[in-house]
């Protein structure tokens, strides 16, 4: 299976990185994880055909993960897409998502292709197609908004264990604390994709030594974090450092 890091930036807009968006490809299916602001350009930059995407999975609704979807759907229409598209959102966010698309004048019946909006639930196993599936677990990324939100059920942010062909990949998504990186501690996985914006980088060494993943891909990076990250990497033992890859836009790996 192949992973293409179309965007590897944080929530802070940068000229060096698009916001985080990652494509997971099996031989027959392409699943995009998140579609934040500017995702259409990020996909073009990675030479990913919009219409090759079969499904888009959303971790949460911060703008750097959601806000490019309306435009991406319009691009698909303008590129004369025929094949259906699946959009996968947490069940708590279904109504908000429909409203969000309507606000961008994205009306399913006018698109020229089928858009199927499906919901997943926390802790459930979701089969996307015959060789891609995932388990979602809720993390603490949005807990900070509890006193501000009128409807706290909308404060749902997910981490995923993705199953793509024979590989298992833990995708942290945006997190709220170190503890979130242990959500799949009891599961085996071949690769670990972790963000580094919402965790003190010094803590990540402890996490990696504890969960001991075969390979680590670091994304959701701000321009400001580069130097600190390089210093941190150089402080690690070689046996750990050689398993860590700092992602960049349009990077792709086959695992
Ligand atoms: Zn983010
Ligand atoms: Zn976020």
- Ligand index nearest the alpha carbon of residue 196: 1
The pLDDT of residue 194 is 97
Distance 27 CA to ligand 2 centre (A): 30
Distance 52 CA to ligand 1 centre (A): 24
Distance 83 CA to ligand 2 centre (A): 30
**CATH number of the domain enclosing 164:** 3.60.15.10
Count of domains in the chain? 1
- Ligand index nearest the alpha carbon of residue 155: 2
Label the pairing between strands 85-90 and 21-25. Answer: unpaired
- Ligand index nearest the alpha carbon of residue 158: 2
Distance 109 CA to ligand 1 centre (A): 31
Query: Rounded CA gap, 154 and 145, in Å?
Result: 10
Provide the terminal-to-terminal Cα distance of the chain, rounded to the nearest Å: 6
The pLDDT of residue 1 is 98
Distance 182 CA to ligand 1 centre (A): 19
Which residues form the domain of 220? 2-254
Distance 23 CA to ligand 2 centre (A): 18
**Total residues belonging to the chain:** 255
Distance 152 CA to ligand 2 centre (A): 16
Query: Rounded CA gap, 98 and 174, in Å?
Result: 23
Distance 219 CA to ligand 1 centre (A): 10
Q: Which of 159, 154, 151, 155 is nearest to 177 (CA)?
A: 159
Please, what are the averages of pLDDT over each run of 10 residues along the chain (255 residues)?
Answer: 98 97 98 98 98 98 98 98 98 98 95 98 97 98 96 97 98 97 95 94 93 96 93 95 97 98
Distance 102 CA to ligand 2 centre (A): 22
């Amino acid at each position: 299976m192949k992973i293409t890091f179309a965007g590897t930036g944080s929530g802070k807009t940068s000229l060096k990185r698009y916001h985080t968006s990652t494509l997971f490809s099996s031989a027959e299916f392409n699943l995009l994880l998140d579609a934040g602001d500017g995702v259409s350009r990020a996909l073009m930059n990675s030479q990913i055909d919009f219409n090759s995407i079969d499904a888009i999975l959303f971790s949460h609704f911060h703008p750097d993960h959601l806000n490019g979807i309306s435009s991406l759907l319009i691009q698909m229409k303008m590129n004369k897409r025929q094949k259906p598209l699946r959009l996968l959102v947490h069940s708590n966010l279904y109504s908000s998502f429909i409203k969000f698309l309507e606000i961008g004048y994205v009306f399913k019946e006018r698109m020229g292709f089928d858009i199927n909006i499906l919901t997943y639930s926390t802790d459930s196993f979701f089969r996307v197609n015959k060789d891609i599936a995932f388990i979602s677990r809720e993390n603490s990324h949005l807990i900070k908004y509890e006193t501000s939100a009128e409807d706290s059920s909308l404060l749902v942010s997910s981490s995923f264990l993705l199953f793509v062909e024979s590989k298992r990949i833990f995708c942290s998504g945006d997190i709220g604390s170190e503890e979130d990186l242990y959500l799949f501690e009891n599961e085996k996985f071949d690769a670990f994709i972790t963000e580094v914006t919402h965790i003190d980088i010094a803590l990540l060494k402890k996490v990696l030594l504890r969960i001991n993943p075969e390979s680590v891909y670091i994304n959701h990076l701000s321009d400001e974090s580069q130097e600190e990250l390089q210093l941190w990497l150089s402080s690690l033992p070689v046996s750990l450092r050689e398993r860590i890859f700092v992602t960049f836009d349009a990077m792709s790996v086959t695992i």
